[in-house]
Chains A and B, each alone.
Chain A
């Protein structure tokens, strides 16, 4: 019986590993659709961002209530996963609570901490479900929060609740079995699951073993399944947020990335360099029309977004009813990446499918409404920068399509001819000083 369980466990582990690996590789190749970009600036600053912003959750705490409950789930996730290690060892070697004999009294303390966290996670998830579905907090109801994003969020929270219930059920039945069966080593009293024990008291030993085993299997298969699900979900932020805080740009937020290609052309036009630079093998696009025109950092950011909507709730354009939503920019980037990746994987046309990020996902009306105020960038708890993507799309529209709004084209013309965005004579520029001497 034990052997059969071991074989089954290895099979489950193998199958889960196979599919998770496949998804990880897909996500990597999707990110690699983007332009390569080296990180710049001091590494110590980047590490500091990872420690303070990702590990330390510093920016989350700008909004205390969600930060508190999120922190419980976050700590729970980090620490409860230590228990998964024991699950895996037990599963492979057919042992039961393999660490218990080695840790002695410490095992009881550890298990009680896990249980405390499990209950905390459970409560936090219930609070989050209520915030989304009962209180209907505004940022979870915006236009881009269509059926799937809402379902995704509710699924994540529900799965986490069910997984925590499985752990507590397992511990409750386990504690009862410790008095009846030698295989079940003593864990000492476990505070929270003890409250569930009366519910199982009446069952015979065989049934209890079945319930305990079922809960054990449910929990570990659940975790493996959830991990796979996460790779399809906004919940991927649990991994990519760390990466994103590392690669996030360090320059002041007001800084817009330079385009060296343009610099070379302008320099040769102004006669600042003797000859035009060697033409590129494949002349790249100016700005971005599709995901492959964005940088890999932009694409990592899209996978790091968990659709919390803090950006959109601070966006002045969105607050005044414009179509722009920074969260939608990130969601669209991710959706387009997934679409292209899926197509490539089945030998389809990939990027050449006649669609593009700009046009089919994000409209000009959206990007034109941005005031580049950086409220979205400031609001993001994991240093995502939707503004970078918006500006790259604007660059494409302006330079490749000459499709900027008419008033902007007039402004461009004024700058070209009068050296000011308004149509004034350049020779009048200093008149202000002559008005009153």
Chain B
């Protein structure tokens, strides 16, 4: 797998078209790492000139800010911006909606101005440009897929259609949960909930969302966020439905359809 870093490219006097911001989940979480690799495979197959920061990347600060620790957030943001500006980065793609939101909406006020796109939009662009071609009647034909909206893509940034249009190219049977798009139910991980136990309640949020998903009879839950991935996977395990329904990221589905 060819994964150039910014440091390597800069040493050669080159610069990439786009920086792939991997994110902490994409770097450390075993399940999310598979998504990272699937996305890299697509980038390589399509011939997009990209680079990653590698060990120079650090947390965007999103969970710190949402948990109320503004100091820590700004420390993270400021040092990331120094690195990004140092490499003269112009365009960033990321597979994490939380990184996406922070880089796109919250870094400009601190001096980090980049064109930031989420990998769902990036994949859609590659499909529209004809760079990703999927043969009709592939292995997905007839498979029932639902898309679970990530709050940080959907309501937070009004991205509802890009992930869906990526899924449509799979020629699968794309169905919707009752709560979708603007009224999509959170997986329960946002706002730094990923990093602590939930408050006392009658049910965990990811279980409620998994129940929504199971009631559609779909065999695949498509997600576009590493946190949603964890929450939905845990929910499916909790319901002991691993044999009948799988949770996949958009990038994994596209890579699979392309035989990568």
Contact = CB atoms under 8 A, between A and B. Distances in A.
A412 B64 contact: yes
Given A252-B157, A374-B151, A430-B27, A412 B37 contact: no
B97 to A, nearest CB: 8
B12 interface: no
A432 B57 CA distance: 13
A342 B64 CA distance: 37
B58 interface: yes
B68 to A, nearest CB: 3
How extensive is the interface on chain B, given as a class? 35 or more
A118 interface: no
B101 interface: yes
Contact of A258 (B28, B106, B189, B205): B106
Given A320-B201, A374-B155, A429-B55, A412 B69 contact: yes
A373 B231 CA distance: 14
B105 A255 contact: yes
Nearest to B156: A254
B199 A411 contact: no
B195 A421 contact: yes
B27 A405 contact: no
B78 A320 contact: no
Interface in B93-149: 101, 104-106, 109-110
A369 B199 contact: yes
Contacts of A267: 78
Contacts of A427: 55
Nearest to B76: A415
Interface string B16-35: 00000010101111000100
B87 interface: no
B45 interface: no
A419 B199 contact: no
B202 interface: yes
Q: Is the interface of B mostly helix, strand, loop or mixed?
A: helix
A399 B61 contact: no
A436 interface: yes
Interface stretch (A19-27, A178-186, A390-398): A390-398
A251 B193 CA distance: 23
A432 B155 contact: no
Contacts of B69: 395, 398-399, 404, 408, 412
Contacts of B163: none
Contacts of A365: 199-200
Nearest to B36: A432
A400 to B, nearest CB: 10
B54 A320 contact: no
Contacts of A383: none
Interface stretch (B178-186, B232-240, B241-249): B178-186
Given A254-B101, A411-B63, A428-B28, A317 B155 contact: no
Interface in B51-76: 52, 54-55, 57-59, 61, 63-72, 74-76
Interface string B159-176: 000000000000000000
Given A316-B208, A412-B69, 15 more contacts: A252-B101, A253-B155, A253-B156, A253-B157, A256-B66, A266-B78, A270-B79, A398-B68, A407-B196, A408-B192, A411-B63, A411-B196, A415-B61, A415-B63, A419-B76
Interface of A: 62, 251-256, 258-259, 262-263, 265-267, 269-270, 272, 286-287, 314, 316-317, 319-324, 365, 368-375, 377-379, 391, 394-399, 404-405, 407-408, 410-412, 415-416, 419-422, 424, 426-430, 432-433, 435-437
10 contacts: A254-B155, A256-B106, A258-B110, A263-B74, A322-B198, A323-B200, A394-B67, A399-B68, A420-B59, A430-B55
Q: Which 3 A-B pairs have the closest CB atoms?
A: A254-B156, A321-B202, A372-B191
